């Protein structure tokens, strides 16, 4: 998101000022009410697209796993939306964007004391609290959903819900406060360089990916994933159409995720969308070419993950690079995801859908790519002259690496504490019998697919 605007938040209650949009061409400069409304309507529509990503995540996860767990997977994804929204309402929004200290905000719990409808009332560009909360809450739901995929097919439903609530209520909001909320990471500067992560390769995806890694490690691999010889065995997904439909839904949703993170309706929105579109296509193409070359087959599950890798990679840099560089960043993301999936198979971390690789590893790549490529040439989405986002050079790369380390440390430790506590108390994993039978009937009392009964 735009650092500048977010930096000026001094607390959700204390609205500062409506930030005038700096137009790049010679139209009238005043911010009209219509412009402010357009900003809010656009960001809300973008939020709707991001909300719909929940359906995409559910479809990808369900498609790449087994039929006997499909109810559980859809239940988790519905729960993510429910819990994400309510947890963000109770505490997440306040911790993320409230005034406070370097680590978390301390006001705005339950949105109390905030005017929901005042244009610019959030202190973030022209957005009202209604708009800004909507957009941020669907981001939070996204972050937790990433864990769902990596821990699929063997995690207790209740334990997952508790982790999800903590994630949306505390862990993720603190990461947001560190960065877009003006806290710890936002206050790092080396020379002119301050961190940049436009729509959250790090803040959202790497955060989800790190928690997913911790969760997948602690819950252990699925029965049968690794043979007696220690080699990974393929556990085929039960419904490839679902998985690829999910990829399309996520790709669509990302046109809200990235362009919406501009937090305003201005002339830069569609350039960001263009970068997003190109990186996704490049990620898919790179993965396709690599996997086709390596295995002789264009594996469609991998290609889908390649598209998602391109999208995760460009999430951070989408506002600060050219279209051509977007193609490059996406393509490298598509290559990374292949090797990353193979790597986690090798070290026996079982991630049924590749979420750790797609969101975690490629999320890191997205953050770093900003240090490497932003301001690569003059076109630069018209922002280099404003000097808002990017100091450039080695300093920038160091700041980006520090950002990666801080997020990894916080999310890694916090999720380790939560998952370990769950493991030591109510348990993180279903028992063997339930895992073999599938989670659907034991945990939810119904099968995902029922043959027509005979009694009628």
Span near a second copy by CB under 8 A; candidates 28-36, 99-107, 390-398, 422-430? 28-36
H or E stretch at 190: strand 189-190
Q: Which is nearer to a second copy, 40 or 179 (CB)?
A: 40
Residue 28: Cβ-neighbour burial (10 angstroms; 0-12, 13-18, 19+): exposed
Q: Map the footprint of a second copy across residues 322-381, applying CB under 8 A.
A: 322-324, 327, 379, 381
Q: Report if residue 20 touches a second copy, rule: CB under 8 A.
A: no
Residue 252: both structure tokens together? 């669509």
| DSSP code of residue 380 | G
Q: Which is nearer to a second copy, 79 or 428 (CB)?
A: 79
Query: Residues 6 or more apart from 207 whose CB is under 8 A from it?
Result: 143, 171, 172, 175, 363, 407, 411
| Angstrom distance (rounded) from CA 290 to CA 282 | 12
Taking the C-alpha atoms of residue 97 and residue 123, their distance in angstroms, rounded to an integer, is 10
Among 1, 60, 94, 119, binds a second copy (CB under 8 A): 119
- Comparison of 424 and 452: residue with beta carbon closer to a second copy: 452
> Residues for the chain: how many in total?
456
Sign of CA dihedral 200, 380, 383, 273: negative
- Backbone phi, then psi, for 426, in 5-degree steps? -80, -10
Measured CA to CA in angstroms, residue 299 lies from 181, 240, 289 at distances of 41, 11, 10
- 33-92 positions binding a second copy, by CB under 8 A: 33-38, 40-45, 47-49, 51-52, 54-55, 58-59, 62, 66-68, 70-71, 74-75, 77-79, 81-83, 85-86, 89
User: Shortest distance, CB of residue 410 to a second copy, whole angstroms?
Assistant: 26
- Select 51 or 410, whichever has its Cβ closest to a second copy: 51
Instruction: Tell me, by CB under 8 A, how many residues bind a second copy.
Output: 133
Binding-site string for a second copy from residue 181 to residue 220, where x marks contact by CB under 8 A and - marks none: ----------------------------------------
Task: Confirm or reject binding of residue 436 to a second copy (CB under 8 A).
Answer: yes
Q: Which two tokens stand for residue 64?
A: 């790449």
Q: Report the site for a second copy in 264-303 (rule: CB under 8 A).
A: 265-274, 277-278, 280-282, 284-285, 288, 295-301, 303
Around Cβ 273, how many Cβ atoms within 10 Å? 19
Which of 17, 112, 229, 293 contacts a second copy by CB under 8 A?
A: 112
Spatial separation of the C-alpha atoms in residues 82 and 104, rounded to whole Å: 23
Question: What is the per-residue binding string for a second copy in 400-429, x denoting contact by CB under 8 A?
Answer: ------------------------------
447 binds a second copy (CB under 8 A): yes
Under the binding rule (CB under 8 A), the answer on residue 108 touching a second copy is no
Can you tell me the distance from the alpha carbon of 430 to that of 288, in angstroms, rounded to the nearest whole number?
A: 36
For 409-438, give the DSSP string: HHHHHHHHHHHHHHHHTT-SB--HHHHHH-
CB of 170 or CB of 252, closer to a second copy: 252
**Contact positions with a second copy (CB under 8 A) in 229-268:** 233, 235-242, 244-245, 247-249, 251-252, 255, 259, 265-268
């Amino acid at each position: 998101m735009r650092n500048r605007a977010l930096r000026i938040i001094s607390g959700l209650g204390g609205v500062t000022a409506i930030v005038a949009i700096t137009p790049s061409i010679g139209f009238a400069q005043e911010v009209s009410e219509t412009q402010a409304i357009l900003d809010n309507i656009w960001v809300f529509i973008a939020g709707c697209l991001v909300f719909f990503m929940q359906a995409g995540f559910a479809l990808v996860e369900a498609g790449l796993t087994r039929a006997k767990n499909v109810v559980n997977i859809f239940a988790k994804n519905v729960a993510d939306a429910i819990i994400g929204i309510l947890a963000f309402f109770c505490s997440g929004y306040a911790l993320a964007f409230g005034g406070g200290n370097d680590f978390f905000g301390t006001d705005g719990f339950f949105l109390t004391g905030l005017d929901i409808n005042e244009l610019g009332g959030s202190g973030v560009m022209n957005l009202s609290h209604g708009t800004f909360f909507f957009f941020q809450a669907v981001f939070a739901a996204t972050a937790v959903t990433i864990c769902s995929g990596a821990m699929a097919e063997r995690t207790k439903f209740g334990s997952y819900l508790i982790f999800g609530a903590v994630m949306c209520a505390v862990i993720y909001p603190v990461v947001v406060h560190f960065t877009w909320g003006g806290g710890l990471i936002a206050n790092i500067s080396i020379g002119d360089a301050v961190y940049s992560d436009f729509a959250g390769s790090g803040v959202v995806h790497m955060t989800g990916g790190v928690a997913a890694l911790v969760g997948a490690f602690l819950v252990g691999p699925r029965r049968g994933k690794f043979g007696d010889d220690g080699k990974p065995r393929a556990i085929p997904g039960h419904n490839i159409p679902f998985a690829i439909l999910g990829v399309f839904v996520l790709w669509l949703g990302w046109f809200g995720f990235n362009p919406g993170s501009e937090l305003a309706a201005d002339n830069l929105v569609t350039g960001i969308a263009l970068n997003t579109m190109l990186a996704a296509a490049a990620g898919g193409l790179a993965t396709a070419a690599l996997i086709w070359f390596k295995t002789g087959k264009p594996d469609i599950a991998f290609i889908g993950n390649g598209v998602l890798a391109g999208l995760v990679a460009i999430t951070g840099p989408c506002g600060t690079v050219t279209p051509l560089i977007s193609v490059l960043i996406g393509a490298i993301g598509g290559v990374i995801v292949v090797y990353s999936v193979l790597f986690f198979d090798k070290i026996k971390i079982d991630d049924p859908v590749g979420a750790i690789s797609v969101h975690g590893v490629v999320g890191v790549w997205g953050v770093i790519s900003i240090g490497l490529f932003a301001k690569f040439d003059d076109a630069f989405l018209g922002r280099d002259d404003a000097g808002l986002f990017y100091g450039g050079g080695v300093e920038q790369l160091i700041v980006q690496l520090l950002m990666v380390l801080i997020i990894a440390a916080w999310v890694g430790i916090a999720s380790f504490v939560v998952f370990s506590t769950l493991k030591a108390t109510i348990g993180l994993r279903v028992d063997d019998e339930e895992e073999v039978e599938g989670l659907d009937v034991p945990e939810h009392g119904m099968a995902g697919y029922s043959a027509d009964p005979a009694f009628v």
